Structure 1
Amino acid sequence: MSKLAQDAAAFKSTLQRQKYTSWHSQPKPLTPAGGTPAAAIAGAASTPGSGLAIAGESSSSSSGKKKRPKTNIVYSQPADTGSGNNVNTQLVYAVNHLKSTQNPMRLQDIAIVTNTPLDTDSVLLEKFKSHDKIQYDPKTDLYSYKHEFTFRNKAALLTEIQRQTKKGGGISVRALKESWKEAPQAIEELEKEGEVLVTRTVKDGQLRMVFWNEIKPTEESGGMPVEKEFHDLWHSLKVPNDVDLLKQLSSEGLQVTAAETVVPKAPTVKKKGKRGGAPRQRQVRITNTHLKGEIDLQKDYAAHTK
């Protein structure tokens, strides 16, 4: 037998003795989430030259690590660490908290919620009581915030909008929301009912100002929205440029309205006063009349003698 045949026979016998237990030849067994079967790990560890035991250890260690929860923290903004130690800062915290609530509160409750020494610091308490937006009721010993408006329902809101519109202006929706949190929803309902007219921001369409709609949307009195067909016709019209506009006017026998000519103003003459204007020549008064004819009194003798 040749050497080549001997090598081929030895290779075939090696293939027959080979145990296909590595992860290359066998598919990965189905395992529950977060673990590896102990039998698979033991079998892989008993196989010489197999790297499954190390892979199993690494996978189990990686699966055992807990994932960090994602947080929506904006690190560019400083964290709110408390009410501070400054009296004015503590005053702002107390006033803003009372502003955010609609119900009156006791002084001790405000101090506990805002974490401020409002009930023990006399300076802070004096500033809090003298604040122009803080109202104190001595009968109930409660403090409340003086909102600009005092309505708490949609009917009272509409009455306030009517009163302000009759004065010649609207009301800021932000000011209404500070007095009543449900004001924006009520305004949108009143807008659908045709009771109010609102203006919105161009960027995000948020409510900005609200006005009372004096003309109700009825067929008799008007105020109904214009049909979409007329909207499209109006916006489809294009204003021609100046040259084409002059040609169209002349073809129709029309002329451009002459602009109002500005009358030039007459030049203002500056009046001569004590400080303005050219100095006037004063006449010399001759008092030594007895020397007339002998000496020229208008001659500067001092200049000639030098």
Structure 2
Amino acid sequence: MSKLAKDAAAFKNVLHRQDYTSWHSQPPPAGASSSSSSAVVDDAPSAGSKKNKAKSNIVYSQPADTGTGKDVNTQLIYIINELKRSLNPRRIEDLAFESGVTSLLSDTSLLEKLKSHDRVNYDVKTGLCSYKHEFNFRNKVSLLTEIQRQSRKGHGIAVRTLKEVWKEAPTAIEELEAEGEVFVTRTQKDGQLKMVFWNEIKPNEEEGGLSIEQEFRDVWHSLKVPTDADLLKQLDNDGMQRTAAEANVSKAPTKKKGKKGGAPRQRQVRITNTHLKDTIDLSRDYVHPPK
């Protein structure tokens, strides 16, 4: 057998033994040179090349996204929001690093805006800042006191505002609602707490406010309101008079506007120079001479 025939037979043997479902599922055939296996290894991409390719997509010319902006007023908003989330007074240094606005330590204009903000309390002696909330309470009793104070003024309090002061406020409000101390309005979509009002009528036998029994509720809802015709007929059968209808208020007659294109109104002409009536005749004494 010639050398060319032997090489062709070896190549067919390799193709027959090769499993194409997985390149590495079977070992290389016997007699295969190490160069072929090394070629297979060299063709497979390495993990390091993938990492290098991913790193090449980074654009180093873009500035880092700090998220706090460069404008002074924008940075002040981030600082105020960070201070608002804190329940205790904060140092300027801690507030600068935790809010991400490190320029607060070097920018005097930003620091002065923070100190003079209407929602910030700054203690000159201690150097501490605290957020000035609309309400001040930290327990269930003081929460009820604030609700009573606002309800006496004729309005309730938004639960979202109370939650900003005290995180446990929604739980306390639900407990007060179960005890009959407050009324709560909820959203129609998901039933979340919306507004809270003080219940002035307590549910007890001395002050009233007891819940109505289900039997009376069913009787109330079973009543049907008659139509107007049936109601008038029943009144006549019982000998009762109807209420007098309100008299129609007479309106003043309105003048009709004239049609467009009508005859123009004749206005009275005001006569001037009446003091010259008996002395000078303008039509006779001041006639233009003929040309």
Shift of 1:234: 3.2
Is contact 2:159-2:194 (8 Å) kept? yes
Q: Which residue, out of 180, 199, 219, partners 1:213? A: 199
Q: Which residue, out of 105, 112, 123, partners 1:126? A: 112
After TM superposition, what 4+ stretches of structure 1 lie above 6 angstroms from structure 2?
A: 48-53
| Cα distance between partner residues in 2 of 1:121 and 1:197 | 48
Instruction: Encode CA deviations 1:208-248: one digit per residue, 9 max, x unaligned.
Output: 221111111112321112222333333344445xxx33224
Partner residue in 1 for 2:233: 250
SS at match of 2:138: coil
Instruction: Encode CA deviations 1:76-128: one digit per residue, 9 max, x unaligned.
Output: xxxx9522222222111110010011100000000110111211112221221
Name the TM-score, length of structure 2 as normaliser.
Answer: 0.63
Q: Which amino acid aligns with 1:289?
A: D
Shift of 1:139: 2.1
| Cα distance between partner residues in 1 of 2:69 and 2:276 | 90
SS at match of 2:118: coil
Counterparts of 1:87-166 in structure 2 under 5 Å?
Answer: 87-116=72-101, 117-166=103-152
Q: Which amino acid aligns with 2:210?
A: M
Q: Which residue, out of 161, 179, 193, partners 2:165? A: 179
| Cα distance between partner residues in 1 of 2:117 and 2:189 | 36
Matched, 1:200 2:219: no
Matched, 1:232 2:221: no
| Cα distance between partner residues in 1 of 2:123 and 2:84 | 16
Is contact 2:121-2:130 (8 Å) kept? yes
Partner residue in 2 for 1:82: 67
| Cα distance between partner residues in 2 of 1:139 and 1:50 | 83
| Cα distance between partner residues in 2 of 1:172 and 1:155 | 18
Shift of 1:259: 4.7
| Cα distance between partner residues in 1 of 2:187 and 2:18 | 68
Q: Which amino acid aligns with 1:86?
A: D
SS at match of 1:132: coil
How many equivalent residue pairs?
Answer: 220
SS at match of 2:183: strand
- Name the CA shift for 1:112/1:286 in 2 (closer, same or farther; >3 Å): closer
| Cα distance between partner residues in 2 of 1:246 and 1:55 | 92
| Cα distance between partner residues in 2 of 1:283 and 1:87 | 74
Shift of 1:51: 7.2
| Cα distance between partner residues in 1 of 2:23 and 2:158 | 66
- Name the CA shift for 1:259/1:197 in 2 (closer, same or farther; >3 Å): farther
Partner residue in 1 for 2:6: none
Partner residue in 1 for 2:40: none
SS at match of 2:90: coil
Of all paired residues, the percent bearing the same amino acid is: 56
Is contact 1:194-1:217 (8 Å) kept? yes
| Cα distance between partner residues in 1 of 2:84 and 2:116 | 16
RMSD over aligned Cα atoms: 3.7
Is contact 1:249-1:255 (8 Å) kept? no
SS at match of 2:194: strand
Shift of 1:178: 1.4
Matched, 1:289 2:291: no
Q: Which amino acid aligns with 2:278?
A: T
| Cα distance between partner residues in 2 of 1:152 and 1:237 | 48
Partner residue in 1 for 2:41: none
- Name the CA shift for 1:140/1:261 in 2 (closer, same or farther; >3 Å): farther
Instruction: Encode CA deviations 1:265-304: one digit per residue, 9 max, x unaligned.
Output: 43589xxxxxxxx96554674744378xxx8x899x98xx
